[in-house]
Homo-oligomer: A and B are copies of this chain.
């Protein structure tokens, strides 16, 4: 009888469990006693059997719960291999610049400035205000918050010489960070399978976005004064490409700024070829020895597509950038943004606009400039003193990075691994090349935490070279 009762309770509970969610609490022993007319001992026995079967688990003093039964063998997702096929483009999810590293390491690999270079007080006050405003609760228009569109347009308009029509607020589309802007520009203006001329070396994120969009990269070499405009002209002519992606001011990774002559000549080339210049002014707020000179300011016939982000200078949490484009190109990009993400959080837009319209913003930027200068100079001196074999071909006039040429025969990836084993994290230069690397390079970010450790970093680098 007790045996039968035990079995009946086990079967009943198992049946109940088959429809119960994982983690559900079983009826109490008292309830089971009542339901099955069974003694405490019988119910206890049934519970022990269910526990032994791995179906329920007892948490003393809390109760008995349905247990998640993991399949006995590891799950085999092999079927997905056939369903997914080969990827249409080879992407890597994580750049070496995005790696999390040991907290005591000297981290010169990141693409972001240290917290002390951000306007933290302005950001927190702006978020508090935005959280109390309508922006916390309403939807933003697809093209962006009109006042923020206007701010971006006015900022560029201040560089526009007389005789050129400045951009209007409507021309400025707010996007959720410059990576989103690049993705949309490449999809909308270039397209799957089509060629895009690109500086080499250049920002790895642009190379990644281009790969995702399925565009075919056509690299042209770039140097301290920018690319050779004839190279750009030949690349456009040879491939039929209708767009050239570039960072004319404080390029990532080199920190170089195109000369005025190169800028004017490249603009002339893209005009003659009926092409777009996609100008990524990523370091607009990160100038050191020179001011940014947006080429977009010299163009009012829609040849320059201008991209400018606030993420690095305001806060990585306020992912807000703008694409300034005119003519049908604007419509094509806006359509892609709508399909991709509908709209950008109005909270982030309101907070970002608040920060950049505070009186403290300008003085903050002046302070950042001095800090970047001091950090850059310290890292350059440290390298010259302790790692003279690492050669700085281009002295950066803005941005966050030093781009170092290693001696011939050195291998950037091996060096980066060797550095890491000594507690120094650097980014091997490979990621900044659209094709093969032109040589062994490493990129060092001078805007990270603890600049006082730059001499140690240079010593480690020097000892390994």
Interface residues of A (CB under 8 A from B): 17-23, 55, 66-71, 75-77, 79-85, 87-88, 91-94, 98, 100, 112, 115, 118, 120, 123-124, 127-128, 130-132, 135-142, 157-166, 176-177, 179-180, 183, 187, 189, 191-192, 205, 208-209, 211-212, 214, 242-243, 274-276, 297, 300-302, 315-319, 326-329, 331-332, 334-348
Contact = CB atoms under 8 A, between A and B. Distances in A.
A83 B440 CA distance: 37
A209 B329 CA distance: 20
A242 B131 CA distance: 43
Contacts of A160: 21-22, 68
Contacts of A340: 179-180, 183, 209, 212, 340
Contact of A192 (B136, B211, B214): B214
Contacts of A187: 212
A93 to B, nearest CB: 4
Nearest to A183: B340
B316 A67 contact: no
A227 to B, nearest CB: 20
Given A68-B165, A187-B212, A137 B120 contact: yes
A114 to B, nearest CB: 11
B338 A75 contact: no
A183 B341 contact: yes
Given A82-B274, A301-B77, A163 B69 contact: yes
19 contacts: A22-B166, A66-B162, A75-B327, A77-B329, A80-B328, A80-B329, A83-B274, A87-B332, A91-B335, A115-B138, A176-B345, A177-B341, A177-B342, A179-B339, A179-B342, A183-B339, A212-B336, A317-B346, A341-B341
B135 A317 contact: yes
B341 A161 contact: no
Contact of A22 (B75, B98, B161, B331): B161
Contacts of A87: 332, 335
B326 A75 contact: yes
A183 B340 CA distance: 6
A328 B81 contact: yes
With most chain B CB atoms within 10 A of its CB, the pick from A69, A123, A157, A319 is: A319
B115 A137 contact: yes
Contact of A345 (B300, B341, B345): B345
B342 A345 contact: no
Contact of A158 (B17, B21, B124, B138): B21
A136 B158 contact: no
A137 B158 contact: no
Contact of A91 (B211, B339, B347): B339
Nearest to A68: B166
